[in-house]
Every structure is written in C-alpha cells, then in structure tokens.
Structure 1
Amino acid sequence: MLFGRTKSQLPTPEDALPGREQQPWRLGQHLVLKTPVQAEEVPEGMEVAVFGLGCFWGAEEIYWQVDGVWSTSVGYAGGITPHPTYEEVCSGRTGHTEAVRIVFDPKVVSFADLVKKFFEIHDPTQGMRQGNDVGTQYRSAIYFTTPEQEQTARDLTKVYGDELARRQLGDITTEIRPAEEAGYYFAEDAHQQYLAKNPFGYRCHANTGVRFPATA
C-alpha cells in the first residue's frame, strides 16, 4: 500500500511527487537508427505517435525495427509529476505509464499500421498491468498527436475490441488521450534502446495472441 493506495491506483495531484523543472539528463544519438533520440523538432513530413503498452524496453525494440520509423525513444506519459525518474515512476506516485515515442514517415508506414501492431504485441484488456508487471506504469494507452490519429485510434480500438469480445477475451482498457494533454518526459539514457545495450534483457509481451482482423 502507498499512502492508503495500491500501485494499481492512480495518485491524486496532492499525492503525486513534485518532480523537477528541467530534465536532468542529456540524450544523444539513437544506438540503432543513428538519429536523435530526443527528437523534439521532427523532420518535415514526419509524424509522432506515443503508445503505452507495458515495459517500454520491449516495445521500443519492436518499433525501431519497423520500416518507416525514423527514431524511437522511451519515456513517461499520462501522469502528473514533471520530469520524473524511473524510480519515481515505479513508486506509483507520478501517475505516468511507461511509453514509447515513435517518429515515423507516414508515406512509408501508416499510423493505422502502428496501432494494429500496438494491439497485437500487448494485452489491452489487463488494466493496470501487463502479465506479471503490475502497476499504473504498465497501463495501455494511445496518446494521439493529430485529429486524424484520434479517429484512427478510436476506430481501430473498436474493431479490435469487437474481435476480442467475439472470442470472449475481455474488454479493452486502453486510455486514448491527446498527447499534448498527457505529456511526455524522456526517460534516462540507460533506458533508451535498452535491449540493444542489453540483448538478453527483460522483455514482456503479454499479448492476447489475436491478430488484428485482416478485413479492417
């Protein structure tokens, strides 16, 4: 229990940790893609997608292998505490979920394709957990950056949700919010491209085993 709460309950603003005004670490080049990790100003024609789908190490590894993805990073989104540390997020007192931020070329890979992969590589029905990983930091989330992304996210969530319902596999709990409202804070350098640095590191892919319907 944390101040009367469990790690599966989001903190109130009064309970949240204070954080800090600025990011206290510097990030350099993407170890795999050789592009900037902290790509705050993305190249012309590129889009940004932000997903929460459990432990961010494995999620980033999957997305940096997708054709059309220019850069990826891991960070903390959807919470209260500004510029939190990994330990603070793990405490359950920041309200963030572990997230992967993807900068991609929509002429090569569509946002819809990224969303379909999102649903296939985690279990969006588990609420505040993924497999044995329990806590608010593991909740499922799509943080959209354009109105078109929002519509696509909601449409595809319904399609996949209907498929899971048909198979009696539970209801989707994915949080869908504007990325600007959710915020995104880059994680520490040690967590960026973690599985490129530690090939035998931890991967959690607690997926449903259900492919996205081919007709969608």
Structure 2
Amino acid sequence: MFFLSDMLNKKLKMPAPAEALPGRDRPIPTASKHYVSKRPLKGPYPEGTEQAMFGLGCFWGAERLFWQTPGVWVTAVGYAGGITPNPTYQETCTGLTGHAEVVLVVFDPGEVSYGQLLKIFWEAHDPTQGMRQGNDVGTTYRSAIYTFGEAQQAEAIASRDAYQAALKSAGRDKITTEIAPAPAFYFAEEDHQQYLAKNPYGYCGLKGTGVSCAIPQQA
C-alpha cells in the first residue's frame, strides 16, 4: 500500500532536477508526415503561419480537436514543460520527466485566430483539476498553455481571467492552468501522432465543464 501511494505522489508532484530521468541527446524517432493531411510534421511550415501549444490532458483527443479546426495547417503531439531531454512516452508516464502531454498547433491567423484556439482549449477540458484530467492522473495530464511571444502570453492570461470569472459564476473551482513561454517541444513517437485517426475507437478522455468561454477582444 505504501508503494502504491508513493508512486501516486511521484505522479502528482513535479520532480526536482536531481530526481528527473536522464533522457538522451538525440530526438526519439517519429513520423515525418501528418497521418491525415500528409503535411510535414516538423516543417518547413508555410510563411505567415504561427504556432501554439496546449496541454489539456491525454493528447490523443486533444490533437484531433485541433486538426479538425479550419485554419489549422498541421498538428503534432509531444512532451513539453519538463526536465528530461528527448523523453519517451514510457518515461513521461512515470512522472519523473516533468513533462506535460501537449499538442503543437501550426495555424494560419488569417483563417483562425489565436483567441479562437484559446476558446477551444478552455471549453474542451476542465482546467481546475490540477495534475489530472478525469481518470487520467499525473503531471503529464496537467492543463497548460505554452506561448510564443508576448502577444500570445497576454492573450492567454486575459482569456484565463475571463474564463475564471465565468467558472466562478457557475460555482466551479479555481483554474490551475500553467501559462508560460513555450519551452522545448519533443515530438512523441509515431504511434501517438494522430492516434485517433489510426484508431477511430481509441480512448479519448476529453470532457469540458459545460461553461462557455468568451475571449476578450484584443486592442
């Protein structure tokens, strides 16, 4: 019993650098092209596109949500926000890498705004659950927005504050979403890329709060 509780505590608490797994110098193998769109997963991305990065629990369902959004050029799943360089899926599951499961979204801002992507993010999961999403428990499933540039950072914070007000009115808890400048992104293994396109009846744990998110207008 002590062993089980000890393992659970490790998954719910970010590891200290001395506790983190060592990882590796080279990226782990992944797909070269998006399984659905056939576009290059690692680029080059078209001129004028921008990037966003979101963590909202298990990345399988989260990625499908974004690749189905008009204006999104390509998506990829991976690991970010931790310590271990070039981690594997199995390593992140131990809770000893510090990474969150995230989706990298490359989008055309002329077709879909960052604000619209934020609205999808907030409404698709429960951002009040800390180190979990539903039955998925651990630091890998935490809610996170990793931003590219000051404009995204400001917009993400403004959207969080607006959504917090809406959640409070609905009697919901405080948002625990991590908002920070984008760290290194490590592409996940090929099997995880566009997983639900390859496995249509595969697991998807996405579940929102049912509370609508009104994104503040940017000046």
Q: TM-score, normalised by structure 1?
A: 0.95
- Offset at residue 5 of structure 1 (A): 3.9
C-alpha distance in structure 2 between counterparts of 1:131 and 1:165, whole Å = 20
Aligned twin of 1:6: 10
* 1:152 counterpart = 2:119: no
- Offset at residue 6 of structure 1 (A): 2.9
* Alpha-carbon contact 2:77-2:192 (below 8 Å) kept: yes
Letter in 2 for 1:137: T
Letter in 1 for 2:35: L
Aligned twin of 1:117: 120
Matches within 5 A, 1:1-216: 1-2=5-6, 5-39=9-43, 41-179=44-182, 182-213=183-214
* Alpha-carbon contact 2:159-2:215 (below 8 Å) kept: no
* Alpha-carbon contact 2:87-2:186 (below 8 Å) kept: yes
Letter in 2 for 1:190: D
Q: Structure 2: state its 5+ residue gaps.
A: none
Letter in 1 for 2:18: E
Q: Note the alpha carbon deviations across 1:146-187, whole angstroms, 9 max, x for none.
A: 1111111011110001100111100000000000xx221000
C-alpha distance in structure 2 between counterparts of 1:211 and 1:138, whole Å = 22
C-alpha distance in structure 1 between counterparts of 2:6 and 2:81, whole Å = 19
Secondary structure of residue in 2 paired with 1:16: coil
Aligned length: 213
C-alpha distance in structure 2 between counterparts of 1:131 and 1:42, whole Å = 34
- Offset at residue 27 of structure 1 (A): 2.0
Quick one: percent identity of the two aligned structures? 53
- Offset at residue 53 of structure 1 (A): 0.3
C-alpha distance in structure 2 between counterparts of 1:190 and 1:134, whole Å = 21
Runs of 4+ in 1 over 6 A off after TM superposition: none
Q: Note the alpha carbon deviations across 1:105-153, whole angstroms, 9 max, x for none.
A: 0000000000011000000000000000000000000000011111110
C-alpha distance in structure 1 between counterparts of 2:61 and 2:49, whole Å = 23
Letter in 1 for 2:152: Q
Q: Structure 1: state its 5+ residue gaps.
A: none
* Alpha-carbon contact 2:158-2:216 (below 8 Å) kept: no
Structural RMSD (CA): 1.5
Letter in 2 for 1:84: P
Q: Note the alpha carbon deviations across 1:39-61, whole angstroms, 9 max, x for none.
A: 3x432100000000000000000
Secondary structure of residue in 1 paired with 2:212: coil
Secondary structure of residue in 2 paired with 1:6: helix
